[in-house]
């Protein structure tokens, strides 16, 4: 059991944690990406709805 936790501690020390600056950059990129595609698909949905209602 002790060996297991030593191994866990060793593996955790190998993890490269992101810096605060990188975390903010990646989070902002993700939010902007999601907003862009949300608006994109909303506009596509509106166009399809307009086309269907005009037929």
pLDDT digits (tens, 9 = 90+) for 6-51: 999 999 999 998 999 999 999 999 999 999 999 999 999 999 999 9
pLDDT at position 39 is 98
pLDDT at position 55 is 76
pLDDT at position 9 is 94
Is residue 35 within 8 A of residue 43, CB to CB? The reply is no
Distance CA 48, CA 38 (A): 15
Using the CB atoms, write b or e for 29-47: b if 16+ within 10 Å.
eeeeeeeeeeeeeeeeeee
Q: Would you kindly state where each structural domain of the chain is located, as residue ranges?
A: 2-54
pLDDT at position 52 is 94
pLDDT at position 25 is 97
């Amino acid at each position: 059991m002790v060996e297991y936790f030593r191994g866990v501690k060793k593996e955790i020390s190998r993890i490269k944690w992101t810096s605060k600056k990188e975390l903010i950059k990646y989070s902002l990129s993700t939010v902007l990406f999601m907003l862009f595609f949300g608006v994109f698909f909303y506009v596509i949905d509106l166009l399809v709805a307009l086309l269907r209602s005009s037929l």
